[in-house]
């Protein structure tokens, strides 16, 4: 719902107030970059923990598949990239009221707020994965 409101607001700014849309893009672009960086760092922490010993313990505990812990992060990275491209295209528009400024404003607002709103569930996945690490810490390594 928040993303749709962002899309409507971005479309309105692109249609009627291009200078304000450009100002919002100057604020949103670095924020999207920070979010993508944080999500990539969280994804790196998860992949670092996925060594062979941990995967054997998780399999012995019946905790599979591990790929479900990646999807929220990949989604946020994808949305962030779409937001960044939309913000770049919005910044390149010179006049308001044309179809391009409205479309780019709507896309930028939609993807930017969707990225922001999706950050909390992704961080919740990181907490779940940390709990999973704790749960498997007490499991002895299976013998081969």
CB 105 within 8 A of CB 19: no
**Residue-range domain boundaries for the chain:** 2-137
The tokens for 43 are 């994804």
Q: Model pTM?
A: 0.78
The pLDDT value recorded for residue 109 is 82
pLDDT tens per residue across span 10-37: 665 666 777 777 777 888 888 899 889 9
pLDDT tens per residue across span 65-87: 677 778 888 889 998 999 888 88
């Amino acid at each position: 719902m928040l993303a749709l409101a962002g899309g409507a607001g971005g479309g309105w700014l692109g249609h009627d107030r291009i200078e304000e849309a450009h100002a919002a893009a100057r604020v949103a672009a670095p924020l999207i970059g920070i979010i993508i960086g944080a999500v990539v760092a969280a994804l790196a922490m998860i992949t670092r923990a996925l060594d062979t010993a941990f995967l054997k313990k998780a399999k012995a505990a019946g905790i599979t598949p591990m790929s479900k812990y990646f999807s929220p992060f990949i989604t946020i990275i994808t949305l962030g990239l779409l937001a960044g491209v939309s913000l770049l295209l919005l910044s390149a528009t010179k006049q308001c009221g044309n179809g391009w400024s409205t479309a780019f404003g709507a896309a930028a607002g939609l993807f930017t707020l969707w990225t922001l709103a999706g950050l909390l569930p992704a961080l919740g996945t990181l907490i779940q994965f940390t709990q999973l690490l704790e749960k498997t810490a007490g499991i002895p390594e299976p013998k081969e």
